[in-house]
Structure 1
């Protein structure tokens, strides 16, 4: 009942964040790849050529994102969201009307920058800024927009492409963004939420606000980044080379595909579970544990050949994805405050996009050089294990400063605990 009350009280802000994630689908890989065959046919591209174009456009978007993230620290969220939705609509139109490879590259670059990049960035940054004591639950709910988009849009695209053609479907996507997404999102997020507007007796951590320069001078930031970059690198790699993996293992591709449904369901459940745990224990205290399911998934994929291992592997990935999507949204404001959160998050998102772009390419080159793929996956699992130990040591140093415990009983005086991670460390 308390959870439903939380949703009802904050429906407009949660709904705005959800829709930003939901409509980011137009720039996500799963949506763009639905036009893969048509693009290669119309532009006379091989799989490798189109893959290289997509990787370069994605890397360019990752390099650009940090230069846009600061806008969320200077302008109201609804204005940044409005401009971003319009730019994403322009990108979908560019995809529809492009007639040359340079225009195709530009269209994909804009889709990745404003879809996967800025739409998600606005949702995560504003949610992290607007919610304090219930940040975990809020993050869990808005990130469900990504999963809803993944489940909803592929079928819609296929049906629309059958009726209007692939280019016509991209035009329809632009219309949806302008006529539906733009007015709805702006109406929902037009009024800012005060993170201090929590019920009496709620524990609200007071976090020192780091500047971008202070973050970049801190060795701690790079250590944490090495940990949080593991899921996008490994997850993208495993799915990109899924056909090769099934061939090595002698698995049925249909059974492997069926595992995605299991993974999606587990992801949703554990995103919500992680939201509750973040509010109960803090993102910092959960940091040492979030890579453990991914570690297990890697070791299973690398060493087990029975077809039943697919579902264990997918369950572990689902747990990892669920925890990552919620935990990493709550972690940065908990560590570095919210005053410069837009700039800080844009950098971390850019690094994650870079990791997801490099993963398939690096492992593909190693495969071509004769490095066994199972050995590479074992190395990924070992890396996760090492980073788990590193995060446990780091959290052990920072947890006493965080001092996040249970909220006082209802009716008690408001308590403020301070997280002061010494922003001027070098």
Structure 2
């Protein structure tokens, strides 16, 4: 195994550090479109519109699949528009959608608002943030991706409990108005200031691509014909699909387990802290070993977390479940952010990543919908968890078997 010396943090210039901080702000700003955020409104929205778990999960699935479809087409904009300009436009759309959420009065408008939240937040803004880190950073790529994801980690740590308390104190519509204000008045100005020029100095080219682009031959159409891409895809869909369904249906989960919802959300900092620590460690390993070597271990903690949900009823298991979720999510962020560059280069990384991101968004749609449908038919989440654990283990075994093929492709890419 060849080890690549990792550059010292002292080699980061102020401009590079500013760009990484901009990535962190962008991932924090995605929170209104993330399931961890929206799930805190699950109970109040179901009560407001008279929805069952299955029906609300189905509407959420419809909204998220719609956003994933839009992302397939819009994701390539990250190859043609400079990151700051594109990020600010997306954040403006997300702020406007938050205001729309505060005004929804009927189911069709609710679905439209959810679709836009998912498209702007979970989809496009996250896509732009991670594409910028993957494209513009080379020797620091793993750590740039890791640090940028700290924004979402911060949101996961602080917002679920804060939202639970704020909704009870001020009402859910007021909370959405506050969300729009925070995006427009705090986070957008920070992105404007931090993403000045390029991380290497000078201006970002009009089209946005980084210099010395690699993988010119790997256009999106060719990637779609690559069997390796399709072999990798199911495993990376596991975390957004499975993690999302448990968070989205947390009200059903805590009721079935006999837990208190406030106790459950109070442990979200365990998830956030685990994501932060494992993401940072994985970022260093990506820069040192290469992302592709870490793929077989990605899903093992998630599998163990699902088994814990299936077998343990005591509340002390909540932090253990969040630990498993956090390890997989934290390692997956820098690993999969870098794997696509290792396999396909940087020239068309925005268009390529949009395919993968659309698949992740689709998984986060199908998970809650499927789980809600099963709940309505008498199959509780803890029994479903056994099947989810088996899926994770099967995908981990598949990644281990694919290692020789992935290694050859990564080596070809490094010589391009």
What TM-score bracket applies, with the shorter chain setting the length? Answer: 0.7 to 0.9
Match of 1:131 in 2: 137
Tell me if the contact between 2:94 and 2:121 (Cα under 8 Å) persists in the aligned partners.
Answer: yes
Tell me if the contact between 1:207 and 1:335 (Cα under 8 Å) persists in the aligned partners.
Answer: no
Provide, for residues 10-34 of structure 1, a one-character-per-residue CA deviation record: whole Å limited to 9, x for no partner: 2211111111101111222233344
- Flag structure 2 segments of 5+ consecutive residues without an equivalent: 1-6, 202-211
Answer with 1 or 2: which has the greater Rg: 1
Match of 1:412 in 2: none
Q: Among residues 114, 135, 147, which one is paired with 1:108 in the alignment? A: 114
Q: How many Å apart are 1:179 and its aligned residue?
A: 2.6
Specify whether residues 254 and 35 from structure 1 end up closer, same or farther in structure 2 by C-alpha distance, changes over 3 A only.
Answer: closer
Q: Matches of 1:180 and 1:307 in 2, distance apart? A: 37
Specify whether residues 248 and 7 from structure 1 end up closer, same or farther in structure 2 by C-alpha distance, changes over 3 A only.
Answer: farther
Pair 1:418 & 2:414 matched: yes
Match of 2:156 in 1: 150
Provide, for residues 278-327 of structure 1, a one-character-per-residue CA deviation record: whole Å limited to 9, x for no partner: 11101111111111222222333334556654443332222112111221
Tell me if the contact between 1:229 and 1:355 (Cα under 8 Å) persists in the aligned partners.
Answer: yes
Tell me if the contact between 2:54 and 2:373 (Cα under 8 Å) persists in the aligned partners.
Answer: no
Tell me if the contact between 1:7 and 1:14 (Cα under 8 Å) persists in the aligned partners.
Answer: no
Specify whether residues 184 and 322 from structure 1 end up closer, same or farther in structure 2 by C-alpha distance, changes over 3 A only.
Answer: same
Tell me if the contact between 1:208 and 1:419 (Cα under 8 Å) persists in the aligned partners.
Answer: no
Q: Matches of 1:162 and 1:376 in 2, distance apart? A: 31
Q: Among residues 336, 357, 360, which one is paired with 1:352 in the alignment? A: 360
Calculate the TM-score normalised by the size of structure 1: 0.82
- Flag structure 1 segments of 5+ consecutive residues without an equivalent: 196-204, 405-416, 421-426
Q: Among residues 271, 274, 277, which one is paired with 1:269 in the alignment? A: 277
Pair 1:278 & 2:274 matched: no
Tell me if the contact between 2:67 and 2:123 (Cα under 8 Å) persists in the aligned partners.
Answer: yes
The structure whose RCO (Cα within 8 Å, separation 6+) is larger is 2
Q: Matches of 2:34 and 2:137 in 1, distance apart? A: 26
Q: Please list, as runs of the form range in 1=range in 2, the aligned pairs for 1:147-296 lying within 5 A after superposition.
A: 147-154=153-160, 157=163, 165-194=171-200, 207-209=214-216, 210-242=218-250, 256-257=264-265, 259-296=267-304
Q: Matches of 1:82 and 1:141 in 2, distance apart? A: 20
Other structure's SS at 1:394 match: helix
Q: How many Å apart are 1:9 and its aligned residue?
A: 5.6
Match of 2:86 in 1: 80
Q: Matches of 1:97 and 1:326 in 2, distance apart? A: 37
Match of 1:314 in 2: 322
Other structure's SS at 1:10 match: helix
Q: What is the RMSD computed on CA atoms of the aligned residues?
A: 3.2
Tell me if the contact between 1:206 and 1:418 (Cα under 8 Å) persists in the aligned partners.
Answer: no
